[in-house]
Amino acid sequence: MVWSLTYHGADGDDWSLNNLGPYVAWRQPLTPRRAEVIRALREEYELATWQSELRIGPAAARRLLDAGWDYSRARILRCFALSDETDAAAFLARSREDWDSAGWLDMNSALYGHRVLPADAARLADAGIGHAAMCDLREAGHTTVEQQIAATPPDVPDTPGRIILRPHRNASRMTGIKVTTDPELARQWVSTRRTYWWPGAVEHSPGVRPVHVVRTGGLRGGWSLWDDGALVRGADWLEIYQPERRESLSAPAPAGLPDAAAHAIGLVATCSNTACRDRAIWHPLRDAVTHAETIVEQDQSDRVSWTSTKALYRHDYTLIDGSVRSLWQLHSSEGGMSSGGDGEFDERHELWPAEALARAAYAQHSLG
């Protein structure tokens, strides 16, 4: 059957005849002649849109139109590189349901822009690799179909210790650096996350134990202090959610520092500059037992729907031996409503070991 719509909503029309909003809808048999007329109309009026919006070549588009794929249905084909009849034939060799169940009609992963020839997609689908997995493998350095099919998870040693898991630097999907002490948990994590399938993904320090863990730190990641004196910055403590149990699995995350010491090390771990990264500066602060904060200077700029601030703090930490160490923090923020109507906010801080350096940084920081 074929349905045709005739607009019948103008002044003077008999609206009582309308059976679909302002239209009169007609149902008619889909004869070969009508099917040819519909195909010809689609080819005449849709082909340019197929090329400009769907990036499907004219020859492939005609072949798909002949197979009953109109523009509305073809919008889900953004994972494929379709240029000619050969590409269209390779795609049509499998049903829409087969491509869908194999993960090749994924509109979310299509946003990453990696289009694949249907013949190659079929080989990947036969290997159990959908489009999202292909994108991850590609960003992990596996650029050919052969490399993607042959790729395997990185080895995770069996010995407990500090295990840092890093996705490939090219990875654009939301993954992030993770750290744990549990080899089995690390193995489970990387087994299904292909952005970690590259030679440098696993850094293992056997026998090392965490002293203090901050599980997550938002966009800047969590941090952890270890008994070998290392500070791991920008890495969330590995947790794997188990939906059937409604809980997350993770290795124990101790909080062994006093509050004052955790505050000091946290500033060092999350600052945006490197002035206090030297261990000689921050290692003694592991023994901090009290903390006092002083606002030295602050300023603010207010514009229409936008606010910028800066503040200079002095943090004084009393150590267990009675001595006092100071850190200087420049905290800045800006945010408000953008011209498009979306709310935006950003804040960060720099850390300095000396007053002169901190005051110079404060003076140089302009309020936007």
Looking at residue 217, what is its pLDDT?
A: 65
- Of 173, 171, 117, 167, nearest to 145 by C-alpha is 117
The tens digit of pLDDT for each residue in 48-95 reads: 888 888 899 999 998 998 888 888 889 899 999 999 999 999 999 999
Looking at residue 286, what is its pLDDT?
A: 97
What does the alpha-carbon distance between residue 217 and residue 257 come to, in Å, rounded to a whole number?
17
What does the alpha-carbon distance between residue 355 and residue 38 come to, in Å, rounded to a whole number?
77
What does the alpha-carbon distance between residue 40 and residue 44 come to, in Å, rounded to a whole number?
6
- The answer to whether 26 touches 3, Cβ cutoff 8 Å, is yes
Q: Which residue has the higher pLDDT, 335 or 258?
A: 258
Mean pLDDT in residue range 131-143: 94
Looking at residue 212, what is its pLDDT?
A: 98
What does the alpha-carbon distance between residue 249 and residue 60 come to, in Å, rounded to a whole number?
48
**C-alpha of 181 from chain center:** 25
Average the pLDDT over each of 60-69, 223-232, 322-331 and give the range with the smallest value: 60-69
- Of 293, 344, 340, nearest to 315 by C-alpha is 293
Looking at residue 367, what is its pLDDT?
A: 87
Looking at residue 220, what is its pLDDT?
A: 62
What does the alpha-carbon distance between residue 153 and residue 137 come to, in Å, rounded to a whole number?
11
Percent of the chain with pLDDT over 90: 67
What does the alpha-carbon distance between residue 280 and residue 260 come to, in Å, rounded to a whole number?
18
The tens digit of pLDDT for each residue in 144-190 reads: 999 999 999 999 999 999 999 999 988 876 678 999 999 999 999 99
Mean pLDDT in residue range 10-23: 87
Residue type, 174: M
Looking at residue 317, what is its pLDDT?
A: 98
Question: Is residue 54 helix, strand or coil?
Answer: helix
Structure tokens at 228: 């070998």
Is the torsion defined by CA of 133, 136, 140, 143 positive or negative?
positive
Looking at residue 339, what is its pLDDT?
A: 54
Looking at every residue in the chain, the average pLDDT score rounds to 91
pTM for this entry = 0.81
- The answer to whether 312 touches 277, Cβ cutoff 8 Å, is no
What does the alpha-carbon distance between residue 150 and residue 36 come to, in Å, rounded to a whole number?
46
Q: Is the pLDDT of residue 340 over 80?
A: no
Neighbours of 278 (CB within 10 A): 11
